[in-house]
């Protein structure tokens, strides 16, 4: 990362945090290299076609389990990206500047408080989004091979966050919220704790309610003992399954399966039902969640500048 073309407070910010910024870029490149090597290893053993027409992995393909394990770790690791950014911006980048008094030196160099904060937000957001772009490319490279396997469906957390705009929106919110928390608290460790808590609560809340943004699709079938249970279509996300009683009431958690004896016998049952979100719901859900996050990020950024102006008017 070269700072030769940068000027003013942006150049100062890049120089000040150059090691962290280099580390962020190196993380993206390392992820791309690891997934790329595993994809090449996996490609050395093409899938084979069985006598009944199915394609299966070559029994000597030892690269695929490694690739799948790396993608599983990748899926779990991306959850921590917004946390890491919020902690860094709130603590070392903003709060520590006030705690140590370093920001006063910047303000004596003909740099306005607004320009000082803007430079930090610009550098943090640019580097974070650039690194995320590389990470997304690495993830997509591996996901095309492991897609639709266990924990690698479009609605699973990893693919949902990375393969769409949601994670980028979380990154922008982490930058803006981290700056706001750092300005309000001005104590490094406390600011980091609050920023991490805010990020975690936001992610948990949206994770809990994101599949309520759109109404699920319902399919139904005959409620007959020893009949096949209704199945979620390929790639779909099960929301609820149950029975439709004679009075039209839906009883969740019951079903008539091919094992027999599961269907209720205490009152008449007319049908089975199953609610699910098809794959086509993933992108609209991502866009709705992204809109919510961007609105929160804009409010946090606006509040951060207002707090700064109020304290340095």
- Return d(Cα 90, Cα 118) in angstroms, integer: 14
Mean pLDDT taken over the chain? 86
Give the pLDDT confidence of 69-117 residue by residue, as tens digits. 899 999 889 999 999 999 999 998 999 888 887 777 666 666 788 888 8
Structure tokens at 214: 């759109």
Structure tokens at 78: 């991306």
Cβ–Cβ < 8 Å for 169, 129? no
Structure tokens at 138: 């690495």
pTM: predicted TM-score of the whole model, two decimal places: 0.88
Cβ-based neighbour number of residue 189 at 10 Å: 12
Residue scoring higher pLDDT (221 or 136): 136
Of 269, 272, 231, 275, the C-alpha closest to 255 is 272
Question: Lowest-pLDDT range, 39-48, 152-161, 222-231?
Answer: 222-231
């Amino acid at each position: 990362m070269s700072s030769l073309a940068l000027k003013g407070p942006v150049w100062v910010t890049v120089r000040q945090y150059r090691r962290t910024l280099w580390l962020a870029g190196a993380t993206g490149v390392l992820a791309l290299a690891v997934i790329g090597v595993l994809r090449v290893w996996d490609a050395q053993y093409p899938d084979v076609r069985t006598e009944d027409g199915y394609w299966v992995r070559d029994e000597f393909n030892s690269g695929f389990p490694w690739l799948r394990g790396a993608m599983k770790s990748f899926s779990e690791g991306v959850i921590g990206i917004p946390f890491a950014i919020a902690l860094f911006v709130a603590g070392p980048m903003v709060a520590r500047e006030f705690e140590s008094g370093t920001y006063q030196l910047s303000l004596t160099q003909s740099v306005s408080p607004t320009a000082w904060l803007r430079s930090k937000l610009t550098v943090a957001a640019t580097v974070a989004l650039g690194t995320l772009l590389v990470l997304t490319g690495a993830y997509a490279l591996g996901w095309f091979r492991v897609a639709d396997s266990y924990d690698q469906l479009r609605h699973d957390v990893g693919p949902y966050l990375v393969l769409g705009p949601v994670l980028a929106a979380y990154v922008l919110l982490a930058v803006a919220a981290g700056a706001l928390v750092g300005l309000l608290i001005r104590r490094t460790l406390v600011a980091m704790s609050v920023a991490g808590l805010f990020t975690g609560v936001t992610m948990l809340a949206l994770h809990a309610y994101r599949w309520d943004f759109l109404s699920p699709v319902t399919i139904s079938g005959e409620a007959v003992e020893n009949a096949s249970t209704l199945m979620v279509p390929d790639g779909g996300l099960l929301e609820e399954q149950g029975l439709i009683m004679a009075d039209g009431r839906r009883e969740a958690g019951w079903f008539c399966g091919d094992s027999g004896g599961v269907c209720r016998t205490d009152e008449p049952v007319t049908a089975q039902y199953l609610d699910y979100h098809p794959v086509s719901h993933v992108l609209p859900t991502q866009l709705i969640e992204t809109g919510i996050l961007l609105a929160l990020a804009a409010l946090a950024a606006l509040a951060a500048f207002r707090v700064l102006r109020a304290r340095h008017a």
